[in-house]
Amino acid sequence: MEERSAIVTKGVSLWYNDFRALDSVSIFIPAFSIMAIIGPSGCGKSSFLRCLNRMNDLIDGAKVTGSIKIFGEEVLSTSCDVVELRRRVGMVFQKSNPFPKTVFENVAFGLKLKGIRDREFLLYKVEKSLRMAGLWDEIKDRLNHSALDLSGGQQQRLCIARALAVDPSVLLMDEPASALDPKSTAKIEELILELKKTVTIIIVTHNLQQAKRISDHCAFFLDGRCEEFGPTAKIFGQPDKQSTSDYVFGKFG
Amino acid sequence: MWLFRKTTRKAFSALCFFSASVSILTTASIILFLFFETLEFFKEVPMTEFFLSTTWSPLFEKKEFGIWPLITGTLLTSMIALIVALPTGILISIFFSEVVDRKYRRLLKPTLELLAAIPTVVYGYFALVVLTPFMQNFLPNLQSFNALSAGIVMGLMILPTILSISDDSLQNVSHNLRLAGYALGATRLQVTFFIVVPAAGSGIFAASVLGLARAIGETMIVSIAAGQMPKLHFNPLEAVQTMTAYIAQVSLGDTPYGSLEFRTVFAVATVLFILTLILNFLALKLKISLNSV
Amino acid sequence: MRFGNKTATRRELIFYALCLIVTSFALTALLITVGAIVASGALKLNLDFLLGFPSRKAEQAGILPALLGSAYIIFLVAVVSVPIGVLSALFFEEYLRNGPIKKMLDINLKTLAGVPSIVYGLIGLQIFVRTFDLGRSILAGALTISLLILPVVVIASREAIRQVPGSFREASYALGATKFDTIWRIVIPFSLPGIITGSILALSRAIGEAAPLICLGALTYVAFIPDGLFSPFTTLPIQAFNWISRPQPEFHQNAAGAILILIILLLIVNSLGILIRLKLQKRLNLG
């Protein structure tokens, strides 16, 4: 199991100053699959996600210990190139956050950061990413319109396309559909299922039905610890721990 | 390419750092230069004379260096300014936050804030050429240079400062606090005066302290309209000289740089600096405690 | 009217009337001040006055040297204080971590903003005129005014930078941007409209300042056009001050004329600022 995993974490703990947000989390996440992280609010789901691309570095007073290996490379070591890491590990946020620029500029942002200027190539990549995000047919005539003119669901898919444009091997999604209506949510879920052919996806979700619908594996977090992880069918069928069963069968949360 | 980008990054952060250090250097030079020249001044003039004598005549034959006339001149004009601006500013801010519709407030507030954008020579002109002759109609004893006109006009100048800070602090008073008042059967006026204004008290106080600091530091209005008469009195109808007006007078004259007479300017500026510093610190502290409520 | 009963009691009406009177008093004062200037200065709005040189005879005097002096000063102050101000604001908001040092620098900045302008004049005299030996030149004047408005520019720019949503920064970092990339491509473009508004406000203050330049020894009688950075100079507010200080009413009229032109200059600079801001905002929305 561990050998075929895209991501392996060992004893990952996270402190915000004196507050311990994560307490030795050790899990593996298999490649080309969807791992859902579930748990009640404040259990550390999002914090854990942010450890994987070191977004916690941006917060004053945050400190991570333990080991995170993504395709065999240690993420937490000082020799890790954070910029390179974040290109390989894309992220989509809870609230869609397109830049107030054109659709094209949004998708091309990460490529331009790499210093790519060739217009033909940029156009090719923008089209490809928008196609992957299932957005191309809807907005191919509006590449030069402001991204803020798109609907909420389209904005979120644009953010996904923006993350895909730099060819990440892992995609982190932090409750990507929680602010969307059911129809847009369905589209996003469809998209996620399609994407697992090319990237490994870790999705934090509050919605148990969603986790059940789309994920291959599931991890249940409680109070900063990972209580249990395994195949989704098992977590939602016969979980090992009482707390997991209480949560997935709706006793709390 | 990579090396180039790395150099750019380093150079840029260094540039930001050096820019930020300009502010520190400014503070350091203010303190250094003021205190150095003041120290030189006190080598020749005893501190006791400076703080105890009541005559200021460094530019005359018989030199005396008592700063009190300049201080009273400054306080007289600034106090008049505060007497004009404080009630006006508070009433207007109450009017804005408790009475007027939001859409009028959005129009009126920026209009009144234009008062802060007017160059101070304009106020000086207004005080000397318009206000003083007008007031002489019913105040025959009013001299053509006087503390009153300068003070009133300076009140207009600091009005926006007082208005916007006290408006902010009134806006900060929570809706719940007001509702609690109404729930106890208070009228709107009672809610305003017994609940909202006291709750915004420290903000209003900060506003007046900041307004006072600005009035004390103002130069052009008092140079133009208040006169150049360093005399110890509290009669608003007569001419006075403020600390700032004295500094301007010496700068405009032909007092040689480096002479004792010129050093007086730095001694006066040090007093002015310390006075405004204390007031600004006080206002800062009041505003910080206000924000943390 | 916000809440409470609809019908006002008599006491309330009296209080509101008082408020209304005071508000209109302040508005009237503003109107009269500007009106008095326009009434007296409008006669002076002709080419002879605009292109003339100072003179002992009030009716022959003009303001060309002062106008050009003010223009030079605004230009130099903008070139010096805006870049330094924006860069230090970036240092504060993007590089400096929260902590005692940031707090100290913050207090320093707010204190500097409250130092009387004439004190800046004396410091400018010591640093630029004496220590750097720049003389009573345009350069020394512009540098002094730049120091004076720097805190205002920094405070306004910091405010504008803080308005850039954290989610934009996060998105940029998550795409593998470095801090420099994020500042260059996200923070600066999106805070620019706010920075420009703040800078224009600060520059407006610079245009009207006279006290620090008086300390530096800007001349009050300049009968020539300044011909470079090291030329002696005068500015509109100083020229106006000079004319006000004379006893003859004819000179007072000249002062009103100079002030009117100063106000027109202020309006021009402010509308330019608004135009630039609108243009930038439009471009931002389109990308």
pLDDT of residue B109 exceeding 90:
no
Interchain contact C163–A (C-beta under 8 A): no
Nearest CA in chain B to C257: B122
Question: What pTM, to 2 d.p., does this model score?
Answer: 0.88
CATH of segment(s) C66-234+261-286: 1.10.3720.10
B273-286 pLDDT per residue, tens: 999 999 999 988 88
Identify the CATH homologous superfamily for domain A5-248. P-loop containing nucleotide triphosphate hydrolases (3.40.50.300)
The pLDDT confidence band at residue C158, using thresholds 50, 70 and 90, is: very high
Residues within 8 A of C (CB atoms), B 11-30 only: 12-13, 15-20, 22-24, 26-27, 29-30
The dihedral of CA B232, B237, B243, B247: what is its sign? negative
Distance CA C271, CA A245 (A): 66
In single-letter form, the type of residue at position C262 comes to: L
Sketch out chain B's domains with CATH numbers.
Answer: 68-292 (1.10.3720.10)
Asked if pLDDT for residue C282 goes beyond 80, the answer is no
Q: What is the pLDDT of residue B59?
A: 82
Map out the domains of chain A as residue ranges. Answer: 5-248
Rounded to a whole number of angstroms, the distance from the CA of C224 to the nearest CA of chain B is 20
Q: What are phi and psi of B132, to 5 degrees?
A: -60, -50
Helix (H) or strand (E) holding A91: strand A89-92
| Total residue length of chain C | 287
Share of chain C above pLDDT 70, in %: 95
Instruction: State whether B23 and C122 contact (CB < 8 Å).
Output: no
User: What is the spatial distance between Cα C124 and Cα A161, in angstroms, rounded to a whole number?
Assistant: 55
Which residues does C211 contact at the CB level (< 8 Å), separation at least 6? B120, B219, B220, B223, B244, B248, C116, C117, C118, C121
The pLDDT of residue B270 is above 90: yes
* pLDDT the model gives residue C4: 46
Could you tell me which chains touch chain A, where touching means 3 or more CB pairs under 8 A?
Answer: C
B96 CB-near residues (< 8 Å, 6+ apart)? B105, B108, B109, B167, B170
Which among C147, C209, C211 has the least Cβ separation from residue B248? C211
**pLDDT tens-digit readout, C167-209:** 999 999 999 898 999 999 999 999 999 999 899 989 998 999 9
Would you say residue C112 has pLDDT above 50? yes
Q: In A, which residues are within 8 Å of C180 by CB distance?
A: none
Cα angle C114, C120, C121 (rounded to 5 degrees) comes to: 140
pLDDT of residue B292: 47
Q: CA A192, CA A195: separation in Å to the nearest integer?
A: 5
